[in-house]
Amino acid sequence: MKLTNKFSKTESNAHDLLSIDDLLKEIILRLPIKSMVHMKLVCKNWNSLISDLNINSPVGLLFPYSGSWYTYVPFHVNDKSRDRPFVRVFNFIKDTSGIRILQSCNGLLLCCSDQPSKYGHKYYVCNPTTKEYSMLPRYKFWWLICGMNLAFDPSKSSYYKVVYVREFEWYRYELKYQLEIYSSEPGGGTWRKCGETFVAAQVNFKNGVYWNGAIHWISTTATGKSIYFNPGDDQLMMPKVMPTPPILDGDCSTRNYYFGESRGHLHYIDVYRMVTGFNVYEMKIDYSEWFCKYRLDLSRIVGSNLFSICTVVWVKKEKDSFLVLQVNRENLIQYNLVCGTFETICDVEVDMVEFDFDSSTEFPLQYIESLSRI
């Protein structure tokens, strides 16, 4: 039998660990997503292989650059030849004021118009891979908005939900909040009020993170509360309290933090300015505590330069998991969390790209390529 004929058949050789289909997957996975979709036409077997591929994996970081322009920096996992950073334009969303990306959630992005209209900012959910988008219905009390958050998990449902948090009233010196939910399910209609009003001292509703089926908001002050809310749980329509991250003392101007999710892991990192040692905390799945997952000291990498944590990326094989940090506002470094190796993945001068570090987005967003429909 000619070796190459193996590709046209599905039988596998006795000592092949991978079947030919697995080998084909290795090749197909390395195609750009559009080519991958084209290859569905090759034959029925390829179509089913491609439809089964789980391509919802973090592939890069999006940094605001200017208007609807974002600098995209691809990650580098195992593949030694990687793409260079380039600019992605989000002008497929037709909004005359341009758009800003607020949140990235399992392949979909939550965006809003750059400038408010008469009725506040317009909000959009989009998939930049398929360039599909949908504008969310108009929401009431737009002047009281505290945060808008996307909840989407394609492994559970092909529909997404958006949670809108707004101020409700002051009651005995405490500010009360109200949640509203929009669902993309057919017949989901418009915003609906959800549960009673609640108190949430010093919670930052701008940076909600979707993890474990719920949206999580933390307080970045030692005295504040941290809460989470599961929009899919119809029984309990109120946010629950979760342990506050281990916040360092000191005011916000001398430290920066990272709060994010990757492949089912919720992380929190707090870094003092000019201190190169820090801990990577992870939340236990039962919400019992934040535990210290990694203790790092980056002095040999950052020296006395300013640095901040961009993201933590969990990879299927834990030994490949890494974090990305910005050093001196110029270089992006990918640092392996397990073995401590590192490499520069973007150099502003070499790659001729620009970031806008003073944007309202607190940290750059992990971009995940997916074929999820809006």
Q: How far is the CB of 278 from another protein (least distance, A)?
A: 27
Residue 245's closest CA among 222, 228, 213? 222
311: exposed, middle or buried (Cβ count in 10 Å: 0-12, 13-18, 19+): buried
Q: Which is nearer to another protein, 39 or 194 (CB)?
A: 39
Q: Which is nearer to another protein, 4 or 304 (CB)?
A: 4
Q: Which is nearer to another protein, 132 or 362 (CB)?
A: 132
What 3-state class would DSSP assign to 190? coil
Q: How far is the CB of 125 from another protein (least distance, A)?
A: 16
Q: How far is the CB of 146 from another protein (least distance, A)?
A: 34
- Side-chain-side CA neighbours of 285 within 13 Å: the count stands at 5
Q: Which residue has the tokens 């005359």?
A: 96
Q: How far is the CB of 129 from another protein (least distance, A)?
A: 8
Q: Which is nearer to another protein, 223 or 341 (CB)?
A: 341
Secondary structure string (H, E, C) spanning 244-310: CCCCCCCCHHHEEEEEEEECCEEEEEEEECCCCEEEEEEECCCCCCEEEEEEEECHHHHCCCCEEEE
Q: Which is nearer to another protein, 16 or 233 (CB)?
A: 16
Beta bridge partners of 342: 335
Q: Which is nearer to another protein, 42 or 292 (CB)?
A: 42
Q: Which residues bind another protein (CB under 8 A)?
A: 3-8, 13, 15-18, 23, 26-35, 37-44, 46-47, 78-81, 130-132, 371
Helix axis angle, 20-28 to 44-52, nearest 10°:
70
- Read off the DSSP letter of residue 358: T
Rounded-to-integer distance, Cα 343 and Cα 249, Å: 31
Q: How far is the CB of 40 from another protein (least distance, A)?
A: 6
What 3-state class would DSSP assign to 207? helix
Residue 246's closest CA among 276, 210, 221? 221
Q: How far is the CB of 88 from another protein (least distance, A)?
A: 15
Q: How far is the CB of 28 from another protein (least distance, A)?
A: 7
Chain centroid offset of residue 39 CA? 28
Q: Cα–Cα–Cα angle for 240, 243, 249, nearest 5°?
A: 135
Q: How far is the CB of 53 from another protein (least distance, A)?
A: 13
Q: Which is nearer to another protein, 13 or 115 (CB)?
A: 13
Rounded-to-integer distance, Cα 269 and Cα 160, Å: 28
Q: Which is nearer to another protein, 12 or 212 (CB)?
A: 12
